């Protein structure tokens, strides 16, 4: 039984380490903050801000499309080569609203169909260091600008993590109980046969 508990202690330890690493990755790469949290914390570096595009604030200016190299083998017939992939680029400005604050966003990146008014989305970028501190009045735009280079949809990682936990925890408890019963049964059989007297042939 000692080896059984040692094995499960190692399994639990590995699971806790993986959970800690996942939490660290979530904080660095996935976690989103609101405009209020961004302006209050004066966060530096790249952050992910969630909010709704204010109605009437969105302006989009198309830019020259960028192209990615095509897969062309050296010496191949130009008529049979794959044309390069073009990505439509845009410049956009809009206000991202939270519960009590608005954030002026300048987006320079690929065109995205999700970028529209009254749409809740996540912008990835950084807050400009220069400029005034902005008004503290509710629902007033801050004079600082958020430079965004990517857009993302609302994260559903909480639901995904909950679904995994609801599936894995009962499975782990079931395996623990089954292995424990097998270990107890093995110990009983071993003790019973170890002291069984030899029968005469």
Residue pLDDT, tens place only, 158-174: 666 777 778 888 888 88
In terms of residue numbers, what domain contains 49?
Answer: 33-65+82-154
Same structural domain, 92 and 180? no
Domain count, the chain: 2
pLDDT band at 29; cut points 50, 70, 90: low
Is there a single domain that holds both residue 150 and residue 171?
A: no
Name the burial class of residue 127, with classes exposed (0-12), middle (13-18) and buried (19+) by CB atoms within 10 angstroms of its CB: buried
**DSSP-derived 3-state class of residue 139:** coil
162 shares its domain with 120: no
Split at pLDDT 50, 70, 90, the class of 113 is confident
189 shares a domain with 166: yes
CA distance 72 to 133: 51
> What's the pLDDT at 94?
92
52 and 94 within one domain: yes
136 lies in the same domain as 109? yes
Whether 173 is covered by a domain: the verdict is yes
Q: Which of 12-26, 68-82, 185-199 is least confident?
A: 68-82
98, 139 Cβ separation under 8 angstroms = no
| Shared-domain flag, residues 46 and 120 | yes
Query: How many C-beta atoms surround the C-beta of residue 73 within 10 A?
Result: 8
pLDDT at 141: 47
201 has a pLDDT exceeding 80:
no
pLDDT band at 23 (very low <50, low <70, confident <90, very high): confident
What is the token pair recorded at 132? 């005034």
Q: What is the CATH number of the domain that holds 45?
A: 2.40.50.140
Residues 129 and 180 in one domain: no
Task: Give me the mean pLDDT over the 130-139 stretch.
Answer: 43
Report CA Rg, the chain: 29
134 Cβ neighbours under 8 A, 6+ residues apart = 39, 140, 141, 142, 143, 144
The structure tokens 């003790």 sit at: 191
């Amino acid at each position: 039984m000692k080896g059984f508990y040692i094995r499960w202690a190692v399994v639990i330890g590995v699971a806790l380490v993986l959970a800690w690493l996942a939490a660290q990755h979530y904080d660095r790469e996935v976690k989103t903050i609101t405009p209020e949290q961004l302006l209050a914390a004066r966060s530096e570096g790249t952050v992910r801000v969630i909010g709704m595009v204010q109605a009437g604030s969105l302006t989009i200016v198309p830019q020259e499309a960028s192209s990615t190299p095509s897969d062309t083998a050296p010496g191949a017939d130009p008529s049979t080569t794959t044309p390069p992939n073009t990505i439509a680029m845009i410049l956009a400005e809009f206000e991202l609203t939270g519960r009590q604050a608005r954030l002026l966003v300048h987006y320079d990146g690929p065109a995205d169909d999700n970028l529209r008014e009254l749409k809740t989305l996540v912008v990835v970028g950084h807050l400009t260091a220069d400029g005034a501190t902005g008004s503290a009045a509710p629902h007033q735009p801050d004079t600082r600008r958020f430079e965004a280079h990517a857009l993302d949809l609302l994260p559903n990682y909480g639901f995904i993590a909950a679904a995994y936990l609801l599936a894995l925890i009962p499975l782990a408890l079931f395996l623990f109980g089954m292995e424990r019963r097998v270990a107890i049964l093995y110990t009983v059989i071993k003790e019973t046969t170890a002291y069984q007297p030899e029968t005469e042939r």
